[in-house]
Amino acid sequence: MHYFNINKVFFLFCTLLCFNASAQLRWSEQSVNYGVFTKYTERVTDIVVWNEGTNTDHLLRADFSPNFQVLYSTKDVQPGDSLVIRIKFNPRKIGKFKEVVPVYFASQSVSSALTISAEVTYVNLTEDLPCPHFNEKPTQCCGEFSLDVLVLDKSTKKPIRDADVEVIEERILQLSKKTNKDGEVNAEIPIGYYTLYAGKEGYSGKSITTQVNLHNHRFVFELEKKETPLPPVVIVPIDSVPTVVVTEPIPNSTFDEKEYLPNNISFLIDISGSMAQGEKWPLTKQALSSLSGVMRATDQLSVLTYSEKAKVLLNTTKGNEVSDLGFLLEGKKPNGQTSGTAGFNAAFRMLRKSKIEAGNNQLFVITDGAFKPEDEKQIEKLVRLANKRKIHTTVIVVKGSKFAKENLEKISQFGEGSFLCIENAEDAQSKIFELIKQQSKK
């Protein structure tokens, strides 16, 4: 026969009572509602539980159903510390979903309830991927997987058909597709760190730079329509319309000082690795060579390159003393990362020193892609400051992506310069000189 030791029972009771009193758990949330669950819904959720008591607590278990995969950052929670319950929702069927998960801690005599609900409209039973681990980057999965992008009109929430979707890696365009009638783009891409862009004529484009992987491959872009004021209606009397309209074009072969201001132009040329792709570098050299023999003694030219550092190829020189600017790039091989701030600083310094007070003072930036986010704000400041000093910024994009064009055009707007795109040899041969004439016309 066994006899209870009344003192031991009393001691155990007091210990449990004391433990319960000194352990206080605070949850970040105990109700998770995924709302309408589609294939674009973020399915991984972190729930934090803080121990605000004075004793160490321990997570005993949590009874999740097979609809979830779960990881715990720890199970022993020190006083003042916390644990993270990371859950990934993999629903098994379409319809209303609600589950109350009992979670047991050593400090509590009853379980805590975690309620999870959703209106499931999408199920993929083949996508039973593991919950992403706390300490491991998901780089072990190097195969291709499906990138899913949905583009919507922000005001109506309706899908936008034929929107442009671009995937850019280190300023090189990896994928360019248009959305289908449902506003979707689905494509196989390898895991990587990308800039994703979505845009459509008449809308303001949007972009995001992120790690794209098996756990982060569904993206929704909501585009806002641009506000474009309607042009004023001009009513012309019938009898005032001439039968023949004759316009006098500016002759390409003349660049008369009586008609055109002197130019002080500094070319800042991107020589980073992305410029080596395709025809970008040959077109850049051709564009510079197109100025051979057409600039005047009253004009001034300088040439700099930039990638990770800025380098001067030609100090300020009179236009008639320059034989072939494109020859300066011979033997130069684009490589390295793009850091534009140093290039803008060097070019603006040169332009300030050689400024022509009654002339056309311009920085011509030749590039194929947008600048790094960490450079953008600094470059904007430099461009705005130079503009106050009547030194304007023109941007020339060589075979750039739509994302690059949209972002780079803003720089020319800050600098009150021009924006030009070069797509082929014909553009490279004529567009820059015609732009200079247009800018310097008296």
CATH homologous superfamily of 23-120 equals Immunoglobulins (2.60.40.10)
Q: How confident is the model at residue 3 (pLDDT cuts 50, 70, 90)?
A: very low
- Model pLDDT, residue 239: 46
Q: How confident is the model at residue 235 (pLDDT cuts 50, 70, 90)?
A: very low
Instruction: Assign domain 263-440 one CATH number from 3.40.50.410, 3.30.2230.10, 3.40.50.1820, 3.40.50.280.
Output: 3.40.50.410
Q: Does this model's pTM top 0.85?
A: no
354, pLDDT greater than 80 = yes
Token pair of 326 as six digits: 């494109």
Helical residues (DSSP H) of 35-137, grouped into ranges: none
Asked if residue 238 lies in contact with residue 231, where contact means CB atoms within 8 angstroms, the answer is no
Burial label, 7 (beta-carbon count in 10 A; 0-12, 13-18, 19+): exposed
- Model pLDDT, residue 19: 43
The answer to whether domain 23-120 and domain 145-225 are alike in fold is: yes
**Quick one: which of 175, 168, 216 has its CA closest to 407?**
168
Calpha distance 316→299 (Å, rounded): 10
Mean pLDDT, rounded, for 179-189: 92
Q: How confident is the model at residue 126 (pLDDT cuts 50, 70, 90)?
A: low
Calpha distance 12→34 (Å, rounded): 43
Q: What angle do CA 410, 414, 417 make, to 5 degrees?
A: 90
Mean pLDDT, rounded, for 41-56: 88
Token pair of 314 as six digits: 């030609």
DSSP result, 259-297: TB--EEEEEEEE-SGGGGSTTHHHHHHHHHHTTTTT--T
CA 177 to chain centre: 17
Rg (CA), the chain: 32
Token pair of 263 as six digits: 């130019």
Calpha distance 77→224 (Å, rounded): 46
Instruction: Assign domain 145-225 one CATH number from 1.10.8.50, 3.60.10.10, 3.10.290.10, 2.60.40.1120.
Output: 2.60.40.1120
Token pair of 271 as six digits: 């020589």
pLDDT in tens, 12-25: 444 444 444 445 89
Phi, psi for 429 (deg, rounded to 5): -75, -30
Report the DSSP beta bridge partners of residue 33: 117
- Model pLDDT, residue 23: 54
pLDDT in tens, 62-119: 999 989 989 999 999 998 889 999 998 989 888 899 999 999 999 988 999 999 999 9
Domain boundaries, the chain: 23-120, 145-225, 263-440
The bridge status of strand 360-367 relative to strand 392-398 is: parallel
Calpha distance 375→162 (Å, rounded): 32
Asked if residue 60 lies in contact with residue 106, where contact means CB atoms within 8 angstroms, the answer is yes
